[in-house]
Structures are given as structure tokens and as C-alpha cells.
């Protein structure tokens, strides 16, 4: 093959390997609620409508501490706009920490489980959620969970996971098996491909 072909394959591989998307929730409008009008800053159903959400993608919530970010896999919890009867195993509160109102907050939530994922704010006793600060998405397999997310960190959420040093204990048990293996295989393939290529170009 001509070198150009190899470069094209490498480009293909690299884009394939890093094809995870960060979705900014609500676009420029963010994740906010106006208590004076009882309205959310965006229509989240239409925001989700024409997007694909894959394993390994992140949802980025640009908000402040007047709203919360709850992820649940339980539709009953979602419909109730409350975590009162929820279970620690299927409902997670991201972006805890501040006791002060109105502090700017950016919350990054990795998508680690395929199928229905529901998000809502449980602030103001559910009023925010009941008035639009809520949405559901269907997470699809895509390229699969990357190795650095194959053991999601437990709540309370502090920072986006930056390494896989084994210091975090997974509490989400539902992670599709084999997702991590797929990632490793990709890495092995990349190394193998790079070695072959270097051999062809006489670098070794
Ligand atoms: C997506 O968000 C995560 C979590 O904040 C961050 O680590 C990563 O660098 C972001 N990726 C891109 C392409 O912006
Ligand atoms: C917002 O909604 C709540 C409950 O639905 C209601 O009690 C409150 O009066 C409403 N506030 C405004 C400004 O409409
Ligand atoms: C999604 O829909 C919105 C509004 O309908 C539109 O502005 C936006 O360009 C669409 N995005 C894509 C990727 O199609
Ligand atoms: C979902 O949550 C509700 C409480 O919100 C609970 O009663 C129910 O058992 C949960 N469902 C599952 C499948 O865990
Ligand atoms: C939680 O469960 C109790 C007892 O079943 C029920 O009365 C209450 O309405 C539930 N709360 C929510 C938010 O679903
Ligand atoms: C947050 O809520 C507090 C209390 O309701 C209110 O005084 C403040 O203006 C809000 N801040 C923002 C940025 O919405
Ligand atoms: C989610 O997407 C998958 C793959 O497209 C599909 O098979 C499944 O029925 C969808 N689930 C829901 C709840 O929409």
C-alpha cells in the first residue's frame, strides 16, 4: 500500500478510537431554572431529539447550585421528580458539594450504561423537574465503553475520572460485560498496527 493509504487508515483508526462526544446539555442555554416564571432555560426534549448518545459520551451540565443533576435508570424515580424512595444502586446525585445558592457549577456525567438514562433536578421539592428540568435519553452501544470508564466512580461525584489506578470502587454493577475487553483489543490493535507500519517504513 502507498504511504498515503496507511495515513488514511491511521486517520480512520484515530477518529474511530476517539469518537466519543461531549454533549452540552441544552446547548448555550444550559441547565437552569427561573423560579419567577417556573420555566427551564431550554426545551430538553427537543435538545435530545436529533442526537445520538453513545456509551463513553459525556453530558456536560452548565448550571449553578440552585439546580441539581440526578441520573437515574429507574423510570418510576424519574416520573416522581424525587429521590425520596430511590435506591443507591440506580440513582446518582452528581454535583453535590456546595451549600450556597447560585454558585456556578459544571457537571460532567459519563454515560456508562446502555438503554434508558433519565436526568432531572430534584431542587425546589420537584418543582423544577415538574416544569421541564428533566429529560430521558436512550444510550446506545456506539464504540463501546472506553477502558477508562469501565469502572465508573461511585457517588458522591467529585471530579471527572482522570485515571484508572484502581483506587475507585465501582458501585454500578450493570456495566455491560466485555466492554472493557473491547477497549483493550482496540489498544492492542493500534499498537500492532503502529509497529507494522514502522516496520514497513523501516523505522526499526
Ligand atoms: C469531555 O468531557 C470530559 C469530562 O469533563 C473531559 O475529560 C474530556 O476532555 C472532554 N472531551 C472533549 C473532547 O472535550
Ligand atoms: C411555580 O409552580 C409551583 C408548583 O407548581 C407553584 O406553587 C408556584 O406558585 C409557581 N410559581 C410561579 C411564579 O408561577
Ligand atoms: C438539531 O435540531 C436543532 C433544532 O431543531 C437544529 O438547530 C440543529 O441544527 C440540529 N442538529 C443537528 C446535528 O441536526
Ligand atoms: C424504582 O424506584 C422506585 C421508587 O422510586 C422503587 O419503588 C422501585 O422498586 C424501583 N424499581 C426497580 C426496578 O428497582
Ligand atoms: C414514597 O413512598 C411513600 C410510601 O409508599 C409514598 O407515600 C410517597 O408518595 C413516595 N414518594 C414519592 C416521591 O414517590
Ligand atoms: C439561587 O436561588 C436563590 C434562592 O432562591 C436566589 O436568591 C438566587 O438569586 C438564585 N441564584 C441564581 C443564580 O439563580
Ligand atoms: C434504545 O436503542 C436501541 C438501539 O437502537 C433499541 O433497540 C431500543 O429499543 C431503544 N430503547 C428505548 C427504550 O428506546
Kindly report the backbone phi and psi dihedral angles of residue 113, in degrees, each rounded to the nearest multiple of 5, phi listed first.
-130, 130
Residue in this structure with the C-alpha cell 435506591, named with its chain if needed: 87
Kindly report the backbone phi and psi dihedral angles of residue 91, in degrees, each rounded to the nearest multiple of 5, phi listed first.
-140, 130
Residue in this structure with the C-alpha cell 477497549, named with its chain if needed: 183
Question: Do you know the residue count of the chain?
Answer: 204
Residue 160, all three cell numbers: 471527572
Average pLDDT in the 15-29 region?
84
**Which domains, ranges and CATH numbers included, belong to the chain?**
21-174 (2.60.40.420)
pLDDT in tens, 56-88: 999 999 999 999 999 999 999 999 999 999 999
Average pLDDT in the 121-134 region?
97
Residue 87, all three cell numbers: 435506591
Per-residue pLDDT at 156: 54
What is the atom index within ligand 7 of the atom nearest the CA of 141? 4
Q: Could you give the CA distance from residue 204 to residue 198 in angstroms, rounded to a whole number?
A: 7
Best of 75, 82, 84 for a ligand 5 pocket test (most atoms within 8 Å of beta carbon): 84
Ligand 2 centre to CA of 45 (Å) is: 21
Q: Where are the beta strands (DSSP E) in the chain?
A: 22-24, 33-34, 39-40, 53-54, 58-64, 69-72, 91-94, 104-110, 115-120, 134-140
For ligand 4, atom 10, name the residue with the nearest CA: 74
Lowest mean pLDDT among 11-15, 17-21, 34-38: 11-15
DSSP conformational letter for 183: H
Per-residue pLDDT at 198: 39
Whether the pLDDT of residue 167 is over 50: the answer is no
Give the N- to C-terminal CA distance of the chain in Å, as an integer: 19
Residues in the ligand 7 pocket, defined by CB under 6 Å: 116, 138, 140
For ligand 4, atom 5, name the residue with the nearest CA: 77
Ligand 2 centre to CA of 40 (Å) is: 13
How many CB atoms are located within 10 Å of the residue 64 CB? Answer: 18
Whether the pLDDT of residue 13 is over 80: the answer is no
Mark out the alpha helices in 100-178 (DSSP H runs). Answer: 127-130
Considering only residues 171 and 70, tell me which one the structure prediction assigns the higher pLDDT: 70
pLDDT confidence band for 150 (50 / 70 / 90): confident
DSSP conformational letter for 152: P
Query: Which of 111, 120, 88 lies closest to 175, judged by CA?
Result: 111
pLDDT in tens, 100-125: 899 999 999 999 999 999 999 999 99
Per-residue pLDDT at 145: 94
- Dihedral angle computed from the Cα positions of residues 31, 36, 37 and 41, in that order, rounded to the nearest 10 degrees: -10
Mean pLDDT of the chain: 78
Q: What is the pTM of this model?
A: 0.75
pLDDT confidence band for 95 (50 / 70 / 90): confident
Amino acid at each position: 500500500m502507498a504511504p498515503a493509504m496507511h495515513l488514511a487508515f491511521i486517520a480512520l483508526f484515530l477518529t474511530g478510537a476517539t469518537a466519543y462526544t461531549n454533549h452540552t446539555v441544552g446547548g448555550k442555554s444550559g441547565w437552569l431554572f427561573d423560579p419567577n416564571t417556573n420555566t427551564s432555560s431550554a426545551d430538553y426534549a427537543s435538545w435530545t431529539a436529533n442526537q445520538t448518545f453513545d456509551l463513553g459520551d459525556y453530558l456536560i451540565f452548565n448550571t449553578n447550585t440552585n439546580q441539581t443533576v440526578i441520573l437515574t435508570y429507574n423510570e418510576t424515580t424519574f416520573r416522581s421528580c424525587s429521590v425520596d424512595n430511590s435506591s443507591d444502586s440506580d440513582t446518582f446525585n452528581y454535583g453535590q458539594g456546595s451549600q450556597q445558592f447560585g454558585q456556578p457549577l459544571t457537571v460532567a456525567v459519563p454515560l456508562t450504561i446502555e438503554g434508558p438514562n433519565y436526568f432531572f433536578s430534584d431542587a425546589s421539592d420537584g418543582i423544577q423537574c415538574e416544569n421541564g428540568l428533566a429529560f430521558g435519553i436512550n444510550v446506545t452501544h456506539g464504540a463501546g465503553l472506553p477502558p477508562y470508564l469501565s469502572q465508573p466512580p461511585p457517588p458522591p461525584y467529585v471530579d471527572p475520572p482522570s485515571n484508572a489506578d484502581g483506587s475507585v470502587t465501582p458501585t454500578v454493577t450493570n456495566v455491560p460485560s466485555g466492554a472493557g475487553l473491547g477497549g483493550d483489543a482496540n489498544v492492542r490493535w493500534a499498537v500492532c498496527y503502529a509497529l507494522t507500519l514502522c516496520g514497513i517504513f523501516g523505522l526499526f
